[in-house]
A = this chain, B = another copy of it.
């Protein structure tokens, strides 16, 4: 009977994360990652630009999905509600197991280079959110402020979701953080 086997891309991601966790990001080479995944270095570079890219490979796709969801959200939603609806609908766990994301956050938190990369990713996501809001005819200044607020909510909710139990969905956490955020910034 055929069993599901992850492809080489997923095997490389798992191998990289295990090695980064065990021996540190800086000390791990692409050759070691490829060897542990049972593929050649050439296969590694078919999937990823470098070892850092293994941890951020899905970021562009996530950005496109979220921006698209913001543009398509019902017209009657206020901009921040449109962002939150997009975030709440993210089925991150349908793409990547939460245990992987938990381990990934630990690896990123231990490396200044990876934390920099994460900040750049969030900055790019902020610009994508603002652009999506402008396509809902929100003016540029408001769109930028809402996008930044949306990213604050996303980062806070994502951190909480990653650490939560496997049966907890992103949706209620996002809605909870949105409520907290609005109460926190109210006059």
Interface residues of A (CB under 8 A from B): 78-81, 115-116, 119-120, 123, 141-142, 144-146, 148-149, 152, 155-156, 177, 180-182, 184-187
Contacts and interface: CB of A to CB of B under 8 A. Distances in A.
Contact of A145 (B116, B123, B181): B181
B184 A146 contact: yes
A185 B82 CA distance: 11
B119 A149 contact: no
A119 B180 CA distance: 25
Interface-central residue, A142, A148, A156, A187, by most chain B CB under 10 Å: A148
B152 A145 contact: yes
Kindly list the 9 A-B residue pairs having the minimum CB-CB distance in the complex, ordered from nearest. Answer: A148-B152, A119-B119, A145-B184, A149-B185, A142-B184, A145-B181, A146-B184, A80-B185, A119-B123
A185 to B, nearest CB: 5
A177 B152 CA distance: 17
Contact of A182 (B148, B180, B187): B187
Interface-central residue, A81, A182, A184, A186, by most chain B CB under 10 Å: A184
A81 B186 CA distance: 10
A127 to B, nearest CB: 12
Contact of A79 (B116, B144, B148, B184): B184
B78 A187 contact: yes
A76 B150 CA distance: 28
Given A116-B120, A120-B116, A120-B119, A156 B141 contact: yes
